[in-house]
Amino acid sequence: MRFDFVKCHGSGNDFPLIDARALDLDDSVWAGVARALADRRGPVGGDGLLLLTDGDKLHDFGMRMFNSDGSEAETCLNGLRCVARAGFEALAVDRAEVRLKTSSAHAERDADLATGVVTIRETAGPAELDVTHWPLRGAGHQIVQQSIGNLPSARLFTAVAMPNPHLVSFVDAIDEAELVAVGTVCEAAPDWLPNRANVSFVELRGMDLFVRTFERGVGLTDSCGSAMAASVFAACLTGRVEFGVELSVFNRGGLVRAQAESDGMVRLSGNATYDWSGSADVDVDRGIAGDVTVDRHFNNEIAAWAAVVDGIA
């Protein structure tokens, strides 16, 4: 099978994005496409696969996100901005209600973060604190600044679903080896956490945050939008940041502007950058991509985002 796609990223969280509105394929096929196109060892690579899907009576269009291992995530807020951009361009609109796997989100064009950086503001939530819905078993209904006995760490965690599950710990300095160790336990889908969870270590830098995430179905990643949203809400919930105040959230891929409200809604404003567009053959059964054709490089967008990242360093 051959697919057209755009290689894009939100805050360094990169994906092939397919306009799937006219494609009727089984989930097992999309899982194979994700494993092929998002394979870092292959010719495209990415943190997952994004799909722009049809809307319905309540939504202008939809989004699906498959991780690089073929599993489907409830959402991906960095990816949502990219899908929203594609949907805006397809429908000639600048705001939309977007259907996600288990929830909805609002997206709209925002003032550019920097010259030449296409910027989308997204509103997602409400944040969910009841971990029995994940499920996370044996820790009660809520985890706020608590240790979790099944993890190989004595750190305190706060559990937030956005709507995908996140364990957030605030640290003085990020220990990546420890983060990977904790993330690996969650990734193994133990009996007490059968649907796995994302794990983030977060540094408070003045009034801003720096987030490092071990992402479910991906591993250690330069950026995870829902992790940034969960981290902002957790920071407000634990009194580190005030609700209703906009701050910058940094990661290895760049940054977003974020604001959490006491009702659980979180707004993120960040880039939706196109790197290149093209097509590839996909062997769905083997999860292999090949014969990639590049039709266009978005050099101006690449340079504009590089200037933002260089300004952070």
Model pLDDT, residue 249: 96
Tell me if 196 is assigned to some domain: yes
Q: Is 224 a catalytic residue?
A: yes
Model pLDDT, residue 218: 86
Q: What is the pTM of this model?
A: 0.89
* Amino acid of residue 94: D
- Whether residues 9 and 112 share a domain: the answer is yes
- Whether residues 196 and 236 share a domain: the answer is yes
Tell me if 126 is assigned to some domain: no
**DSSP conformation class of 146:** B
Tell me if 123 is assigned to some domain: no
Beta strands in 117-272, from DSSP E residues, in sequence order = 119-124, 158-161, 165-170, 198-205, 208-215, 219-221, 247-251, 254-260, 266-271
Model pLDDT, residue 311: 80
Hey, what are 190's tokens?
């133990």
Question: In terms of Cα–Cα distance, which of 220, 249, 233, 265 is closest to 257?
Answer: 249
Tell me if 125 is assigned to some domain: no
Contact 201, 171 (CB under 8 A): yes
Q: Considering the candidates 8, 82, 186, 224, report the single residue annotated as catalytic.
A: 224
- Whether residues 147 and 246 share a domain: the answer is yes
- Whether residues 97 and 45 share a domain: the answer is yes
Domain total in the chain: 2
Tell me if 31 is assigned to some domain: yes
Model pLDDT, residue 194: 97
Tell me if 229 is assigned to some domain: yes
The residue range of the domain holding 300 is: 2-118+271-312
Model pLDDT, residue 74: 87
- Whether residues 195 and 91 share a domain: the answer is no
- Whether residues 175 and 256 share a domain: the answer is yes
- Whether residues 114 and 10 share a domain: the answer is yes
What pLDDT tens digit does each residue of the chain (313 aa) get?
A: 999 999 999 999 999 999 999 999 999 999 999 999 999 999 999 999 999 999 999 999 999 999 999 999 888 999 999 999 999 999 999 999 999 998 899 999 999 999 999 999 999 999 999 999 999 999 999 999 999 999 999 999 999 999 899 999 999 999 999 999 999 999 999 999 999 999 999 999 999 999 999 999 889 998 899 999 999 999 999 999 999 999 999 998 889 999 999 999 999 999 999 999 999 999 999 999 999 999 999 999 999 999 998 887 5
Using DSSP's 3-state secondary structure scheme, residue 240 falls into coil
Rounded Cα distance between 49 and 7, Å, is: 10
User: Beta partners for 259?
Assistant: 267
Residue 167, number of CB atoms within 10 A of its CB? 28
Residue 237 belongs to domain with CATH number: 3.10.310.10
Contact 120, 81 (CB under 8 A): yes
Tell me if 75 is assigned to some domain: yes
- Whether residues 177 and 201 share a domain: the answer is yes
Q: Considering the candidates 76, 82, 186, 236, report the single residue annotated as catalytic.
A: 76
- Whether residues 54 and 99 share a domain: the answer is yes
- Whether residues 142 and 204 share a domain: the answer is yes
- Whether residues 216 and 306 share a domain: the answer is no
- Cα torsion for 251, 113, 77, 23, to the nearest 10°? -130
- Whether residues 257 and 302 share a domain: the answer is no
Model pLDDT, residue 313: 58
Tell me if 165 is assigned to some domain: yes
